[in-house]
Structure 1
Amino acid sequence: MIGKLKGIVDEIGEDHCIIDVGGVGYVAHCSARTLTALEGVGTVVTLFIETYVREDMIRLYGFRSALEREWFRLLQNNVQGVGAKVALSVLSTLSPAELANAIALKDAAMVARAPGVGRKVAERIVTELKSKAPAYAGEAAQTIGLKQDLGENAAPAPVADAVSALANLGYSRDMAANAVAAALKTAGEGADAGTLIRLGLKELAR
């Protein structure tokens, strides 16, 4: 079983790349984000690999981070109707942090932006992975609790009102929640909505 490849990028295709490891070219099917992150043919790269073995084939899926690979596994193992193709589409559209945030906020519309992911599948993703998102939030870990409260309508009224106000100004709920989370650190837990909105706007203007 192959878990990681380190070699030279030999080819970059629409949905795959070929990594030359000691003269052997390995075809790795990748998300668009992973392919875009490659620095070009001839450069050295390390990919975290998920190996699929079937009766008629062996297929490798490559990812730039172990966290992205974990999400690839989570999506398929925990959500009905999600296979490798749909999982790659989701990870092509959303980073692990963005996906964790969308799940915490119950933002099925964000997940449904991925090509080939319908509303019903997106809703299953945010429902079935709700309890798992915090453990795989990556860089979003610091604000995931607040976003889950918002998704469950359990956040304090000033926080919910501030996020709603910023979202009404055209910011995504994820951006609004991040800004309010930063504002809370400055103003404290007892801050009113007006203060959180003002400080949140300063964060968003940076």
Structure 2
Amino acid sequence: MIARLKGTLLESTPLLVVLEAGGVGYEVHIPITTAEKLPNIGGECSLFIHCVYREDSATLYGFATREDRDFYRLLIEKVSGIGPKIGISMLSRMSTDLLRSAIASSDVALLSKCPGIGKKTAERLVIELKDKVRLVASATSAARDAPIATTEPSAFQDAVGSLMTLGYKAADADKLVRKAVSKLDSNATTEALLKEALK
């Protein structure tokens, strides 16, 4: 099984890349949250991979961090009604941090805003994953490997919450704070993230 690919980025769209590794071009489906972190075409790229094998196909799904990949696996393996495509749509709409926070706080309304997720599926997400997201958070907090992941989750979540209080939609607030994290020091405070996000 392929767990990680590192090579040259040959093609890139918001949901699909072609990554050349060892002389082979691999087509990899990605969420928008990963596309935002990709280098320019021709640059070196590394993705954590989840493989889905079927009778007539093998599909690769790639993520910028191990944390994102592992969270994706939780979504598609533990919750009935969420397949690989819906999982990618969810991680395209909101970051892992925001999705985990919504599950931990039983925010069914926010989860229902993800494409393909109705109220019943959102409720299943909370029931199935509430305890697991806490375990994943504690197990991966020391080994995160992207700028967004090195910022304290509480600062990230507080900044997103503050923007939502100001009237931003959850997905827009999440995206603004992710961009702020990529520009700031890894120990950025909530206030610093907000200041950068509102520029």
Q: Structure 2 length normalisation: TM-score?
A: 0.69
CA contact (8 A) 1:18 1:27 kept: yes
The answer on whether the counterparts of 1:96 and 1:136 sit within 8 Å (CA) in structure 2 is: no
| Other structure's SS at 1:34 match | helix
Contact 2:31–2:88, Cα closer than 8 Å, also in 1: yes
Alignment of 1:115-134 (within 5 A): 115-134=115-134
Once residues 3 and 153 of structure 2 are traced to their aligned partners in structure 1, the CA distance between those partners, rounded to angstroms, is 29
- Where structure 2 has 5 or more consecutive residues not aligned to the other structure, the ranges are 142-148, 174-189
- Superposition CA RMSD, Å: 2.9
Amino acid in structure 2 at the alignment position of 1:105: S
SS of equivalent residue, structure 2 residue 9: strand
Secondary structure at the aligned position of 1:116 is classed as coil
Residues 100 and 136 in structure 1, CA contact (< 8 A), matched pair in contact too = no
SS at match of 2:72: helix
Change (3 A) 1:142 1:21: closer
Aligned residues: 159
Identity %: 36
Task: Confirm or deny: 8 A CA contact 1:134 1:141 kept in the other structure.
Answer: no
Quick check: which has more Rg, 1 or 2?
Answer: 1
SS of 1:129 mapped into structure 2: helix
Task: Report the 3-state secondary structure (helix = DSSP H, G, I; strand = E; otherwise coil) of the residue aligned with 2:8.
Answer: strand
**Structure 2 equivalent of residue 8 of structure 1:** 8
Shift of 1:115: 1.6
Residue 142 to residue 96, structure 1, CA distance change in 2 (3 Å): closer
Give the TM-score normalised by structure 1: 0.67
Q: Which runs of 5+ in 1 are unaligned?
A: 148-165, 176-200
Change in 2 beyond 3 A, CA 1:17/1:87: same
Partner Cα separation in structure 2 for residue 7 and residue 167 of structure 1? 37
Q: 1:106 to 1:25 in 2, by over 3 A?
A: same
> Which residue matches 1:35?
35
1 CA distance for matches of 2:19 and 2:112? Answer: 31
Distance, in Å, in 2 between the alignment partners of 1:171 and 1:123 is 25
Q: Confirm or deny: 8 A CA contact 2:97 2:153 kept in the other structure.
A: no
Name the CA distance, whole Å, in 1 between partners of 2:69 and 2:165.
35
